[in-house]
Structure 1
C-alpha cells in the first residue's frame, strides 16, 4: 500500500508540473503587432510632387479696340465674345503639411476663335464702312499657385486656392473683310480686304480655384476642379490692305478671362514608400521557458 501511495503522489506532482509549464507558455505568448498610427484616412505626407492637368475653358473678351475705329468715331458690335478653348499643363510643387501646398505651373491654351464687327465713317470715300474681323487666340500661361486643403474624408480632400503669374496671348490669322459705301447713299459699293501678321502681348495673369482631390494611394491624387482665370489683353499685328498700299492699327482684345473646368493628377515623391521598401519592424522573441 505504501508503494501505491508513493506512485500516486509522484503522478500528481508530474501532472501539476506539466500544467504549470503549459500555463507559463501561455503567459509568454508573442505580443501582437503595434496598431497603425492614428490619422486622417488617405492623407499624403508632405513632399515634392509633379502635376499634370487638362481641361476646357469658356473664354470671354471684355471688349475690342482698334485705334483707327476710335479715331474716326466708329464702334464695335456683334461678333464672337465667348468661345471654348482646350488646354493642358504641367507643374512641380511642394506639400508643406496636410493643409498647405504650392506649385508652379505652365500651360498651353489652344486656338479659340475670335471675331467682331465695326462701323466707321470713311473720310476718303465720304461714306460709311463696315468691317468684319476674324482670327484665332492662343495663350501661354505661367502661374505660381497656393492651395489650402480643407481636410480628408473617405480619401476626398476639398481645396481652395489662388495663383498669380503672367500670360502671353497671341492673335493669329486675323482677316479684315469690309464694305465701303462711297459717296453714300448714291455712290458705288466696293469690298475691302485686309490681313494681319501674328501679334502677341504679355501681361499679368491671376486665378482663383476650388475643387476636390481623390487620393488613390499615398502617391497618386486625382483632381477635379474649377478655375477662374484672368488672362489680360491680346493684340494682332498691323493690318495690311490687300488692294492698296495701306496699313492700319492692330486689333486689340481687352480683358480676356476664362471659366475653366480641369481634370488633373498629382504624383507625390515625399512618401518613403515611393523610394523603396521600408525596413521591417523587429519584434523581440518570446522568452524561452524550460519545461520540467
Structure 2
C-alpha cells in the first residue's frame, strides 16, 4: 500500500510540473497604456489690451520746400483694445481675425522756415482690422513661445488739428479726417495655458499703420491754408499687449494605441 501511495504522489507532482508552464504561457500579459494627450484644436475667442509706442517717419505737405526743416514729430503712447475669433489647427499652427480700437494719441510737431516756425497739434486714432497667423514653438511646463504675422487695413483718423505760427500767433484749424490704409504686423510672445480651455498671452507686436492726413486747414482769415493738407507718413508702433484666449471646443483626452505583447501558448 505504501508503494502505491508513493507512486500516486510522485505522478501528481510530475503532472503539475509539466502543466505549470503551459498555464503561465496562456495567461494574458499586462496592457501598457500611453500617457493622455489633450486635444487642442478648434475654435477660440480672444481679447487683447495694451499700449502703443508710436513713431512718425515724416511730417510733410505738398508745398513744403527745402527751406522747411522739421524739428519735431512726436506721438504719445496710447491704450488699445480688441476682440477676435480664431481656429487652432493643431498643436503648432493657428489663425485668427481681430478688430481693434486704438485710442487717441496726441501728436506734436514743429517746423522752421526762413523767418518763422510752426507748432502742430492733433489727435490720431485708428480702427484696425487684421488677419493673423501664428506658429507655436513647443510647450514647456505650460509655457508656449510663438511668432506670427498679420495683414489688414487701418482706418486712420486725425482730429483736433491746429497749426500755430509762433511769430504771429495766427492759428489754423482742420476738421476730423479719416482714410483707409494697408497695415501689416509681426508678432512674438509667450502663452501660458492656465486651464485646458483658457490661455494667457504676453506679446510684442511691430505694427505699420501706413499714412495719415489732415483735412484742409482753415486760417484765421477764414480762407483755406495754402499748404493743405499736412501728412503724417510712415506711422509705426511698438505694441506691448496682454491677450486672453478661450477655447470654444471641448478638450478631449486622446490616447495613443495601447500596446500588449502577443499572446503565446504552448502547443
Aligned position for 2:141: 154
- Which of 157, 167, 171 is equivalent to 1:170? 157
Contact 1:74 1:118 in 2 (8 A): no
Distance between the aligned counterparts of 2:156 and 2:240, measured in 1? Answer: 20
Is 1:222 aligned to residue 200 of structure 2?
Answer: yes
- Which of 216, 222, 241 is equivalent to 1:262? 241
Please, which moves more after superposition, 104-113 or 77-86?
77-86
Deviation at 1:240, TM superposition (A): 0.5
Distance between the aligned counterparts of 1:80 and 1:247, measured in 2? Answer: 20
Distance between the aligned counterparts of 2:44 and 2:32, measured in 1? Answer: 30
Between structure 1 and structure 2, the one with the greater Rg is 1
SS of residue in 2 equivalent to 1:270: coil
TM-score, normalised via structure 1 length: 0.71
Is 1:53 aligned to residue 40 of structure 2?
Answer: no
Contact 1:166 1:204 in 2 (8 A): yes
Deviations for 1:113-170, whole angstroms, at most 9, x for unmatched residues? 112122335xxxxxx2321110011011111000001111111111110001111111
Distance between the aligned counterparts of 2:42 and 2:81, measured in 1? Answer: 24
TM-score, normalised via structure 2 length: 0.78
Relative distance call for 1:57 and 1:44 in structure 2 (3 A) is farther
Contact 2:196 2:251 in 1 (8 A): no
SS of residue in 1 equivalent to 2:80: strand
Q: Which runs of 5+ in 1 are unaligned?
A: 1-31, 122-127, 181-189, 279-292
Give the alignment of 1:2-17 within 5 angstroms.
none
Moved over 6 A (4+): none
Deviation at 1:200, TM superposition (A): 1.7
Distance between the aligned counterparts of 1:83 and 1:267, measured in 2? Answer: 32
Which of structures 1 and 2 has the larger relative contact order (alpha carbons within 8 angstroms, sep 6+)? 2
RMSD (CA atoms): 2.2
Aligned position for 2:81: 88
Contact 1:44 1:218 in 2 (8 A): no
Count how many residue pairs are aligned between Structure 1 and Structure 2. Answer: 224
Contact 2:73 2:110 in 1 (8 A): no
Distance between the aligned counterparts of 2:197 and 2:155, measured in 1? Answer: 33
Deviation at 1:82, TM superposition (A): 4.0
Distance between the aligned counterparts of 1:231 and 1:257, measured in 2? Answer: 6
Aligned position for 1:239: 217
